[in-house]
Amino acid sequence: SYETLTEKGTSWTVVTPIIFSYKVTETHGLLDPCNATLLTGHAHEPQTSADTLRIPSKPIKRFVVVDQEVYRIYGSQITKYFEVNNVTCKILALPTTEENKSMEMALKILEELNSFSIDRRAEPVIAIGGGVCLDIVGLAASLYRRRTPYIRVPTTLLSYIDASVGAKTGVNFANCKNKLGSYIPPVATYLDLSFIKTIPRRHISNGLAEMLKMALMKHKELFELLEKHGQHLLDSKFQSDSSVFSVSSQSASRSTRLAIVTMLEELAPNLWEDDLNRLVDFGHVISPALEMRVLPSLLHGEAVNIDMAYMVYVSRESGQLTEDEKNRIISCMVGLELPVWHQACTMELIQSSLQDRLKHSGGLVRMPLPVGLGQAIFNNTSYEVLTSAYEKWC
């Protein structure tokens, strides 16, 4: 800190560097009782399961929140995992849907956590589910005793490449998406693609929208992978078949890796969103209002894709995309089985979303728009361009 003296008195300016370090780890067989990752993988120097899991003096405790649909499929495996490893645990299965993404749900978690009682330094809370589950549990953990470490285990494709790698937590409030929240990253995120095999096809499309977002903003190769293999990824649910070098295993691992790496490149240097020019906001200018307006009929990625499709027309109209590029992008979206238009996305909704963005981004819309395939600019587009793009889009 440094001191400044003025006629009116003394002031101290405090500069505190806050550094977050967290792990994002790909693993296989996360719920196999022999795999210690879930219990010890967050430690800076992971010990062997024999060293760490059977300390007789102090039983290990874990508080686990699981989405109830995930619990229906994996509940017995989760329970067995902790039983075999002699862990005292409380498993709380909750309906973590967008409609329930509220402070009430976070408080319910906190009441249960408080009753169970954990060592807030050594016993991280574990969240297993989709993005909504990870967001609510992250917020609850960030509030409990000001900050309790937590672990994310994403079970949907969307959360696998999006919610899992950032620091944002949150709940909906005053009919606005994620209006309450914090920037507290998990101590670790564990990625296991095998969870994807039990999610419905529509939810895989939903996750592909966020992958396409990163492709259009930052990575032409990722776009070409989704364009060429999107249908195959949907059919195979990102699972490898028996042939190690199969198209499905290569395209699944390459595309998820590129999506995660590009997402981390964008998020890590700007964890608290101090820089308001954010490429990851592509598809997130109009979609929050659209998603809340039509709940629960659109999934998050579907709303994002509708926003992106409109913005592709805006980009074309302002000369950033060729007609061929625009058509390739829209065809790719259709190939990924994503909606490219919605009647509730009116010009009035678009205008109010842009006005709202102006209020929260320092007086500039700072709209990320694709330039060609795999690059972007930030553009404050004229009303005329927005309107003519809207008419062509419709």
Q: Which residues are catalytic?
A: 168
Q: What is the CA radius of gyration of the chain?
A: 22
Residues facing 379 on adjacent strands: 367
Other CB atoms within 10 A of residue 201 CB: 11
> What is the helix (H) or strand (E) element at residue 50, kind and residue range?
helix 49-53
Maximum Cα interatomic distance, the chain, rounded to a whole number of Å: 77
- What is the C-alpha separation between 226 and 24, in angstroms, rounded? 23
Residues facing 93 on adjacent strands: 66
Provide φ and ψ at 265, rounded to 5°: -60, -40
- What is the C-alpha separation between 210 and 301, in angstroms, rounded? 6
- What is the C-alpha separation between 369 and 379, in angstroms, rounded? 7
DSSP string of 103-172, one letter each residue = HHHHHHHHHHHHHH---TTTS-EEEEESHHHHHHHHHHHHHGGG---EEEEE-SHHHHHTTTTS-EEEEE
Q: Is 301 exposed, middle or buried (0-12, 13-18, 19+ CB in 10 A)?
A: buried
